[in-house]
Structure 1
C-alpha cells in the first residue's frame, strides 16, 4: 500500500523574520526534531550549569561525609590501584578538585552571560566585550573587569571565585592531620617488684673459711648480689638504669607501683674536721672528725680515707637472730634506725693560699626503702621516673616497713650479711709512697673506684704538686661519689627485684595513627558553594529582569560572531591586532537590542 505525503515549502525569510532573525527549525525528520529539542534545551538553557553546580555540591557533601566518618578513627587505606595505595588525603584531594572544577564552570558561564545583560541595559564601549571574555577565562581579566565596570555588575564575583578556587587545593590539605595515640591491647605487660627479700645465707649458703663468724657472714650473700654491688661500684661514668619491664608490644604504661629498694643519702661534714699534730711525726697534721668516736683520720701523705660509723664488727646472736651492725658513731644520720652501711669519706682537696693542704669530709648511708616508680615504654624506649621513697625500716632484729596496705620485710640474716659485706668493701684509703718511686697505692679495688671522683691531682713531681678537678666521673667530688653509690643502690635493687616472683601489672598499648579533622577549614568549601550559588542565582535573576528574558547565550562563540549589526560589520576594518583594535573598540559605543529583520544585534549608539 503506497503512502502519499505532501510537503509544503516554508518561506525561510518570513519564518526568520517572525523568529527574530533566527532560521526556523528543520522539521524534515521526527527523530531529528526530538534530538534537536533535547540539544536546544541543554544548550539554550541552564541545565548544564545547574547540573555542574549540583555535582560540585554533591562532591563537597561526600567530602563532609568522609570527614565525619573518619574523624577520630584510624587512618584508612583503600587497597591498591595500579600498584599505588590510596590514602585519605588522596580521596580528599580528588573530591575537592572535582568540586572546584564543577563549581567554577558555572562561574565562567555566568560571567559570559552577564556580558549580554551588561550591553542590554545601556550603551557601553565595544571593548567591554573583550573585558568580559577575558574575565570568564582568567583572574587577570577578571580584575581588569572590576576596573572597567566600576563594580556595577555581578560579574565582579567571577575573579574572586576563580582566585578562591586556586586556594581550594591547599586549603583541602588543611582539613585533616594525623596524631599518634596509645590504644589498649590484651597483651601482657609486667615489671618485677619485691615486697620481701630473703637471700641464701648462713648455713644454707657458701661459707668461706675465715677467722670468726664475721668473715662467714661477709661471704654469705649470694654471688649474684655481690656482682650487682660490683657492677654499680665499677660503673664509672655509665648510669645504671632501673630494671626494664616485659612489654612485647613495645608500648606499655605502668602507673605508680612500689618495690623494695636500696636508697642512699649524703651529707657534707667538712665542718666537723679538726686537726692536731701527728703524734708519730710532728712535721704533719692529723685530721679527724669531731663529734664521733670513729677512729678515722687523714694526714698529708694520705689523700683519701674511708671508715665506718659502726662501733662493732661482730655478729653475736640475740633471740636466735644475727645482731645487725651498730652505726652509733654517725654524725649526720643519727636518726636512721637501720642503715645497711654508714661510711665516712675524708679526702684531700688541694692547697690554700698559704700553701697548706686542705681536706673535706662526706658521710653517706645506704638503707632499705620502699621506692615508688612510674614507667612508660614508647616504641621500645623505656622511661622510668622515681617518685616518693619511704624509709626507716623498724625492728632491727626483723626489718619491717608498712606502706599503705603492704608490709615489706627483710630477712634478718640477709640484712646482716649484706651490711657486713658493704661495711668491709667500702673501707680503705689511698696514699702516696714517696720512698718507692712515688707510687700511688689503694688498699682495694673498691677504694680505687670510690677515689676516682676525688682524684684532684693533675701532676705530681718531686718538690711540686699541681691540683685540678677530675671530671671523668659525672660531676666532681661529692657529686661523683653520689653517682657511684646511687649506681650501687640501683644495681642491688634490680638484682633483688629480678630474683623475686612478684610483678606489677601494666597496660599494653599499640601506637595507632588517628585522623583528626580541622572543621574550621571546611568553612572554605561551604563559603565557595554559597558564593557560586549566589552568582548563579543573581545571573538568572538579572537575565530574567532584562530585555533578554530567557535568552542565555553565555559564552557561545556563535553568538559573538553574529552579534555585530550590519552597519557595524560594514564599518569594521577586518581583523586587527589587540593594540590596534583596543582604541577603536573603546571609541565605539554599542548596545544590545532586537533589530527588526536581523534579530538580536549589537547596535552602534547614535549619541541620542
Structure 2
C-alpha cells in the first residue's frame, strides 16, 4: 500500500485548522491553550527553564513534517518521549529523593527510646530509694547512670522535636499564607533551643510551632533536674560483726609468795591497774580495756561481769574528841584530836588529814568478799578555808558482780553500772580445812555464778596491807623545820590545791593522792575510790577468766534519698514531646500536607514560584531580601503541572487558568 501524504500540515505550537473553518468553542480554546502551555516546547509563550543559556530564550521550534518515508505514529512517539523525559522523570526523581521523609517511623522509635530512658531513670531511683549506694563494677556511680540516661533522652527527643518543628513549617504555609521570613524562623527553631526561643518570643510559630518550641526549651532542664532526683544522706546502720568486749567470769590471778602476810602476791597486771587508778587521774580508768569496735561506734546489751566495787559512807556524825592518854585528866585541848568508833583518829589538831586502813582478818570480822576498808578524816572541808570542820568518810573495796551498759562513741568507751550484786557472807578461814572452799562466789542476774579465787583475794589483801599504810598530812610550824630525810615524813610538798596551800608533809604517796582529790574536787575521795575499783575491774576483764561478748557495730552509711518533685519535669517534658509528635502527625494528615519534615531537597524541588522569585530579583544583598521576606506572604499551592510550590497569597488563591494567563502576560512583558 502506497503512502499517502497528509492533507493538513502544521507546526507544533500553531493553532490547528478546523476542517470546516468553524471557530473553536471557548472551552476547546482553553484546553488548547493549556495544551500548548504544558506540552508545546516551541510555543513563544512556553517556559524557558529548559535552556541553560538564557532564562528567557525559547526552545527552537520543532516542525513536524511528514515525508513519504515517515509515519504519523513515529512522530507521535518522539514527542511523547521528549515530554516524558522533561516531566515524568524529574517528578519520579523527587519522589525517590524524598522517600525517606515519607514516614514517622524513625521519630516514633526515637521517642520510644526517650520514653524508655526517662522510665529507666524513674525505675532506677525507685529501686535504690532508701538503700545504700550501689557498688557497681568499674566504679560506676548512680549519678553517672542517670546522666547517661538523661543524655539519651535529650538526644532522642531532639530528633522528634527537629522533625516536628520542621513539619510544622510546611503545615503553617499549607494552611494559610504567612510571611516568607517565617520559613527561616521555623528552620532555626528545628536546629536548637536558641532558635526555639526566638520562635517563641516572636510568636511566629502558631499553636503547633509554639508548643514545640516550649518543649524544646524545657528539654534543656531535663538533665539537671534528672540528676537532682537522687540525693545522698547518711544514717547509722547496725551490724552484729566487729563489736566485741570482754567480761570476767572469774579471776584467779595470784602468785605464791613468802613475802606477803597472806602467802600470796598479786600478779603484775593487777598491781599496774591499782597504781593507774590511784595516780593516773585521767578520768579514764578503763582506758586499758581491750575491746573491738571496727566502726568506732558500738553498743552492747547490758551484761554481767565480775568486778570490784567501792562504797563510801559519810560518818562525820560519829566523830568524837580524842586526847592521848598520857595527857591525864586535864589535857591541853589544842593537843587533842578526833576519832570515830571504828578505830581511826587524828592525833592532834595540827593533823589536817589522815588515812587509816583495815584489812579483813582471817577470823571473819568483815564480809568475805571485802579487800580493804579505809577511813579518811580531816579538819577542813574541801571548799571552806581556814575553818575548823572535822569530817570522816569510810570507804571499802570488795568483789561484786556489776551489770554494765557499755557503748563506744567515736572510739571512746563509755560504761555505766546499772546494777550491783554483793556477797556479804562472813567466812572464818583462820583454821583452813582441805575440804573447805574459801573462794568468793557471787550469783549474777542470769543465774551465773562468778568466782574470785581465794588466792587472788588473799594476794590483794596482803599487798594492800603493805601499800595502804596509815598516814596523815600535817601543816604545823614545827614541821616546817623538819628535814625531808626524816623517816617519819616521807613526802614534803609545797602545793596549792583547792583552798589548801603551803608546805604540807605527807606520810605516803597514797595519802598525797587522796588529799589532793579531797581538795581539788567535790567528792574527790569517792571519785578516787571509784577510779581504783574500775581499774581493778579492767584487770579482771583482761585476764584468762574473761570471755568475749558480742555487740552491735554502728556505722555511718550513705544511702540514696529520692526527691520525687524533681522527677516531674523530665516526665512532663517527654510526655509533652509525645503529644507534640502526635499533634504533628494528626495536623499533617488533616491539612493534607506533604510529609517533608526537615528535608533540604523539599525546599529545592518545591521552592518559590516564578512570580514570587521575581519579587526578590531587584534586591542584591541577603539582608535586604530578608527584610523584604517579612512583607511577602506566601502559601503552599499546587500549580497547573501538579507541582507544589510556595507562592504569594494572590497567586495561590487563583485557579489554574487565571494563573496560566497571568504568567503568560508576565513572560510576554
Question: Given the two structures, how large is their TM-score scaled by the length of structure 1?
Answer: 0.69
Paired position in structure 1 for 2:646: 601
- For 2:28, the equivalent position in structure 1 comes to none
Q: Structure 1: any 5+ residue segments left out of the alignment?
A: 1-5, 17-22, 28-35, 80-84, 210-214, 318-322, 328-336, 462-469
Query: Does the CA-based 8 Å contact 1:453-1:481 persist in structure 2?
Result: no
Cα displacement (A) at 1:555:
3.2
User: Aligned-pair distance for 1:503?
Assistant: 1.2
* CA 343–326 in structure 1, closer or farther in 2 if over 3 Å, else same: farther
Which digits, 9 at most, give the CA deviation of each residue in 1:79-124, with x for residues without a partner? 4xxxxx5445433432332222112221232223223323333344
2:41 maps to what in 1? none
Query: Residue 24 of structure 1 aligns to a residue in which SS?
Result: helix
Structure 2 partner of 1:295: 344
Instruction: Report the alpha carbon displacement of residue 459 of structure 1 after superposing the two structures with TM.
Output: 6.3
Question: Which structure has the bigger radius of gyration?
Answer: 2
Secondary structure at the aligned position of 2:304 is classed as strand
> Per-residue deviation at 1:205?
1.7
Residue 431 (structure 1) aligned with residue 474 (structure 2): yes
Q: Deviations over 1:307-331 (max 9, x none)?
A: 35x5xx56133xxxxx25479xxxx
Aligned to 2:104: 46
1:207-606 correspondence runs (5 A):
207-208=258-259, 215-216=261-262, 220-237=265-282, 239-241=284-286, 243-245=289-291, 254-265=300-311, 288=338, 293-297=342-346, 301-308=350-357, 315-317=361-363, 323=364, 325=366, 340-344=372-376, 346=378, 348=380, 356=387, 364-373=395-404, 381=411, 383-386=413-416, 388-397=418-427, 398-411=440-453, 414-415=456-457, 417-419=459-461, 421-422=463-464, 425-426=467-468, 427-432=470-475, 434-435=477-478, 437=480, 455-457=498-500, 476-478=520-522, 480-506=524-550, 516=560, 518=562, 520=564, 524-548=569-593, 551-559=594-602, 563-572=607-616, 573-577=619-623, 584-597=628-641, 599-601=644-646, 603-604=648-649
- Output aligned runs, 1:129-168, within 5 Å: 129-149=183-203, 153-168=207-222
Q: What residue ranges of structure 2 are gaps of 5+ in the alignment? A: 1-77, 428-439, 505-513, 654-669
Which of structures 1 and 2 has the larger relative contact order (alpha carbons within 8 angstroms, sep 6+)? 1
Deviation of the 1:534 alpha carbon: 1.6
Q: CA deviation at 1:483?
A: 4.7
User: Deviation of residue 274 (structure 1)?
Assistant: 8.2
CA contact (8 A) 2:634 2:646 kept: no
* Residues 217-250 of structure 1 deviation map (CA, whole Å, 9 limit, x = unaligned): 7x64334322211122121225133622357899
1:90 to 121, 135, 144: 144
Question: Which structure has more strand as a fraction of its residues?
Answer: 1
Q: 1:563·1:601 contact (CA, 8 Å) conserved in 2?
A: yes
Change (3 A) 1:293 1:184: closer
- Distance, in Å, in 1 between the alignment partners of 2:290 and 2:338 is 43
Matched position secondary structure for 2:473: strand
- 54, 76, 81: which one pairs with 2:135? 76
**Is 1:100 aligned with 2:154?**
yes
Shift of 1:492: 0.9
Query: Is the contact made by 2:321 and 2:336 (CA closer than 8 Å) also made in structure 1?
Result: yes
- What is the alpha-carbon distance in structure 1 between the residues aligned to residue 167 and residue 215 of structure 2? 16
Matched-pair contact (CA < 8 Å) for 1:110–1:554: yes
Q: Aligned-pair distance for 1:559?
A: 4.4
CA distance in 2, matches of 1:97, 1:554: 24
Distance verdict in 2 for CA 1:400–1:255, change over 3 Å: closer
TM-score, with normalisation over the residues of structure 2?
A: 0.64
Root-mean-square deviation over aligned CA pairs: 5.1
Q: How many residues align?
A: 538
Shift of 1:14: 4.4
The residue number in structure 2 matching 1:19 is: none
2:200 is aligned with 1:170: no
TM-superposed deviation, 1:590: 4.1
